[in-house]
Amino acid sequence: ANMLTLNNKKMSKSTGNNILPGEIINGKNNFFSKPISAEVIRFFILQAHYRSIVDISEEALEASEKGYNRLLSALETIKKITPSTKTTDFDVISWKEK
């Protein structure tokens, strides 16, 4: 992975611009207004290319949280899909299994 930045500044312990993952999750920090779930943080980091700089900011984590929730909603919708009785080339049941 490439460098992590916090609010567009290099993370540095000496400048106080650093945060631990547990502090993001439990919300006990001076950078974010609310706790962020570990799943959202994981989703946020996995969206970035491994060679790109990842900037952790409140706006970026909120956007990832919305995207993660949309993904979960889509997965729930897929579970509710029932195959049509019409003849089609697309096999929904095998697609769901994959």
pLDDT at 68: 97
The pTM (predicted TM-score) of the whole model is 0.74
Report pLDDT for 1: 58
Cα 84 from chain centre? 33
pLDDT value at position 25?
A: 93
Q: What is the pLDDT of residue 79?
A: 85
Long-range contacts of 20-29 (CB under 8 A, 24+ apart): 24/56, 24/61
Show Cβ contacts of residue 42 under 8 Å, excluding neighbours closer than 6 positions.
none
Per-residue pLDDT of the chain (98 residues; tens, 9 = 90+): 578 888 888 888 888 888 888 999 999 988 999 999 999 999 999 998 888 888 999 999 999 999 999 999 999 998 888 776 777 788 777 888 88
| Cα–Cα distance for residue pair 80/72, rounded to 1 Å | 13
CA distance 90 to 34: 43
